[in-house]
């Protein structure tokens, strides 16, 4: 059952924040939804999931990205989950900003104690997707996904593994090869164990290397070249994997832009247009 925490009129639609008891996580989870004005006609809506980065919550994207005006123009519903379970009270959960609370990495943890609650992959792909397309007016045949940094990693992984659910995908500064960077090694090692073969299902570059044109109409990635975390992101590795997979990729490198939401908001219009083209074509 969804609990509406707050709602705000926004560009003719509604910005809403929800909480629900998650059966997958085993704890209450929060997520945000922007419902565009087209919902008033009673139709199912093209839906776009946004996965946020390290330390973020379900509010970050909705407050900072400037996406609601564009979503209202395209008639797209936006959905942003939290980035991890909250209140699990696990030892060490709040010790580091890049592991534990706010840093679920969109995986299903297999290592104790994290495996009890940290199941963000299944939460989004199965439970939240089901809520959005049944209890909310999301159209299950017109759903896309995008994200930033850790969330860009999550968006690429979830899309590549579930193309039947996510028909379009893009990312801002994604952690594109987590097996090759310190952030990824720490998170994947902690949640999944030290056998690196278990990391591959959560590494977009590794996944792409064994695929063949999973998204024939293209993937969009934007990367700031003044990004202070560029050494963690490895966009070139993902670019090479896409070339091997014959996967059309638009990887745009932007001089002067850093890792934050000033960068994201600058190119948000292009991402919404990318998804709108794909999702409207599915209608």
Residues of 233-265 as b/e, b for ≥16 C-beta within 10 angstroms?
bbbebbbebbeebebebebeebeebbbbbebbe
Active site residue 149: yes
Task: Report residue 149: phi and psi, to 5°.
Answer: 60, -115
Beta bridge partners of 219: 249
Active site residue 134: no
Q: Chain centroid to CA 206: how far?
A: 18
Task: Answer for the pair 272, 76: CB distance below 8 angstroms, yes or no.
Answer: yes
Distance CA(157)–CA(201), nearest Å, equals: 8
DSSP string, 18-39: EEEE-TTTSSEEEEEEEE-GGG
Of 22, 32, 101, 149, the active-site residue reads: 149
Of 259, 271, 274, 275, the active-site residue reads: 259
Of 82, 227, 271, 274, the active-site residue reads: 227
Active site residue 227: yes
- Largest Cα separation within the chain, whole Å, is 51
Residues serving a catalytic function are 149, 227, 259
């Amino acid at each position: 059952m969804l609990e509406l925490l707050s709602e705000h009129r926004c560009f003719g639609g509604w910005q809403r924040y929800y909480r629900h008891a998650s059966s997958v996580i085993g704890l209450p989870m929060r997520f945000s939804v922007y419902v565009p004005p087209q919902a008033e006609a009673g139709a199912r809506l093209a839906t776009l999931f946004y996965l946020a980065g390290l330390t973020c919550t379900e509010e970050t994207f909705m407050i900072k990205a400037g996406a609601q005006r564009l979503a209202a123009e395209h008639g797209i519903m936006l959905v942003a989950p939290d980035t991890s379970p909250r209140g699990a009270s696990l030892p060490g959960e709040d010790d580091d900003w890049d592991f534990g609370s706010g840093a679920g990495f969109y995986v299903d943890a297999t290592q104790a104690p994290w495996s009890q609650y940290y199941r963000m992959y299944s939460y989004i792909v199965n439970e939240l997707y089901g809520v959005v397309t049944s209890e909310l007016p999301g159209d299950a045949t017109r759903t896309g996904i995008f994200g930033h940094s850790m969330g860009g990693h999550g968006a690429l992984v979830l899309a590549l593994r579930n193309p039947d659910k996510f028909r379009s995908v893009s990312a801002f500064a994604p952690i594109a090869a987590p097996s090759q960077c310190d952030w990824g090694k720490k998170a994947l090692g902690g949640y999944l164990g030290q056998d690196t073969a278990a990391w591959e299902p959560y590494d977009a570059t590794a996944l792409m290397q064994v695929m063949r044109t999973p998204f024939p109409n293209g993937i969009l990635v934007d990367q700031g070249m003044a990004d202070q975390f560029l050494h963690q992101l490895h966009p070139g590795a993902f670019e090479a994997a896409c070339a091997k997979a014959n996967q059309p990729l638009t990887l745009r490198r932007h001089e002067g832009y850093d890792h934050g939401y000033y960068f994201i908001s600058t190119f948000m219009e292009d991402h919404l247009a990318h998804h709108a083209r794909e999702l409207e074509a599915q209608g």
